[in-house]
Amino acid sequence: MLKIGKEETFFDLLESQAKIAVKAAEAFICLIEDLKGVETHSALLDAIEREGDEVTHRLQNKLSRTFITPLDHEDLSELSHLLDDVTDCIEAVGARMGMYKLSVCRPDLVPFAANLLEVTKVTAAAVNELQRQFHRSATLPDVLVKIHTLENESDRQYRAALMKLFEEVTDPITILKWKEVYERVESAIDICESVANVVDNMIVKYA
């Protein structure tokens, strides 16, 4: 939560972006559980995505007018853009599901989406460590390992989902639609791992 009565810090903004990504993942799960209401859920995802863009713009504007920053400019900028990309990816997959008129959720998307939500939560936990001597943190390395573990699990889920898709579906258009859905979920998870990689490099850099 942003600090009321104080100027928001870079850490406040990054934490807000991470929380927005979690919110988007939660909204995506609601969407796949209620595909009949896909338009309503897509509209919510669009609103969340715009909220994320607004926070990203605030951080970038603050960065452009701040000479001395708590972390290097490039680190703050890269983390901000990656966190925004996670939310953008999740919004895009929800929009595609509505656009493609996917009325029945494939069963393997459910655990895949649950993994997406979990990795956004763990990514948010990593971001929350940044303003607390993160390079000396005893817990942050384990948090980063968990992100990598979840990403590895998502790779397995992605490959298994595609194999089942190709085995069970013969219509090429339907295959293309679902393949893009799976790819975008996987991309969002991959970007969370990219956040972990940046933070991991920062631990070495600021040690």
Q: What's the pLDDT tens digit per position in 6-55?
A: 668 999 999 999 999 999 999 999 999 999 999 999 999 999 999 999 99
Q: Three-state SS for 170? A: coil
Compute the average pLDDT of residues 153-179: 97
In percent, the amount of the chain with pLDDT more than 90 equals 86
Structural domains of the chain, ranges and CATH numbers in brackets = 10-205 (1.20.58.220)
DSSP state of 139: S
Q: How confident is the model at residue 134 (pLDDT cuts 50, 70, 90)?
A: confident
Number of other residues whose CB lies within 10 A of the CB of residue 146:
18
Q: 3-state class of 150 per DSSP?
A: helix
**DSSP designation for 35:** G
Do 57 and 82 meet the contact criterion of CB atoms below 8 Å apart?
no
Task: Measure the CA–CA gap between 21 and 91, rounded to whole angstroms.
Answer: 10
Residue 131 pLDDT level (bands cut at 50, 70, 90): confident
Q: pTM for the whole thing?
A: 0.93
Q: Please report, as a single letter, which amino acid is at residue 83.
A: L
pLDDT at residue 67 in the model:
87
Q: What letter would DSSP give residue 69? A: -
* Average pLDDT in the chain: 94
